[in-house]
Amino acid sequence: MDTAFDFDRYDHIRPILWTGQALELLDQRKLPFAVEHVACHESDAVAQAIRELTVRGAPAIGIAAAWGVVLAGRAVEAADGAGALQQLEPALQRLNAARPTAVNLAWALARMRRVLATAGADWKQLLEREAQAIADEDLAANRRMGALGAALVAPGSGVLTHCNTGSLATAGFGTALGVIRAGMAEGRIARVYAGETRPWLQGARLTVWELQQDGIDATLIADSAAAHLMKTGAVQWVVVGADRICANGDTANKIGTYQLAIAARHHGVKFMVAAPSSTVDLDTADGEAIEIEQRDPGELYGVGGVRTVAEGIAAWNPVFDVTPATLIDAIVTEKGVVERPDTAKMRALFGG
């Protein structure tokens, strides 16, 4: 694809590294003050890393899980892929259970199962090749959707993003941050704002740090300041990622996304979802059918390990919410753009 900019200029971080013997994951719980890697030598360690948010972001979770299958295969002896699959199924199920909402996890594991089902004696090599393909395809998809999404943004625009959707959450370049990177490189985006994203502070800890590494200035705001920011006219687009996009365009993403979409519609701000086509789940009709992951309420009781809430207080801690398609102006994937999505438009682009 011809582009007017150098992708590598704004893309220096890689959170997932396969060494040939182990999977090394950049520990995103410790950023931005410590850049450390966790080495996973077995599939259960990968599942634990996914569950504990050592690695996070829907595409990155899928890539990590695929390498987790490769690691599980190291301990299996089988004459062919079908025999290996039978032995590997418990490990696959443990990986799948690590995070229930992000469809990329199940999608990547399904790809690994398909390879095993038809593989011969070289099934271990084919597994490794498939995991690498999943990572390579994600990077290419991100660069493609970055260009497509940036093309929708008028020059001089301000954008607001939520959570972390960049290189840290993918194989590289990012989804929503890929759009922002491409928009910055093309001179379309003049201002970038990032919400802090409570309770794990992915925006405050990860997004602004990641953009800083690439020389992109970003302004951090409290999540509760977003509507006021829109009212000032500083923002023309909200650009977010997704963990699951339904057949009708309803989108599950990090908690807080739904209220951004509501505020954006009220203020005449456009709302864009950028995600790879692997995030599209045509088998889920609408957002009502999405399982919303609940995490430990204790995550709301403090900040940075310091408790700020009195003992005996109840807390409710959903990790995701669902933005209805009616509040979304554009869904951007590497396969193309769906503007004002509905079931017919989604099926026209993604099949089914």
Annotated catalytic residue: which of 243, 281, 321, 329? Answer: 243
Rg of the chain on CA atoms, in Å: 20
Give the neighbor-by-neighbor strand order of the sheet with 189-195.
219-221, 189-195, 157-161, 237-240, 270-274, 330-333, 336-339
Helix segments in 186-332, DSSP class H: 202, 208-213, 226-232, 257-267
In b/e form, how buried is each residue of 103-128, taking b as 16+ CB within 10 angstroms? bbbbbbbebbeebbeebeeebbebbb
Please list, in sequence order, all residues whose beta carbon lies within 8 angstroms of the beta carbon of residue 313, skipping any fewer than 6 positions away: 301
Q: Is 44 a catalytic residue?
A: no
Run of H or E residues at 184: helix 176-185
Side chain identity at residue 235, one-letter code: V
- Annotated active-site positions, please? 243
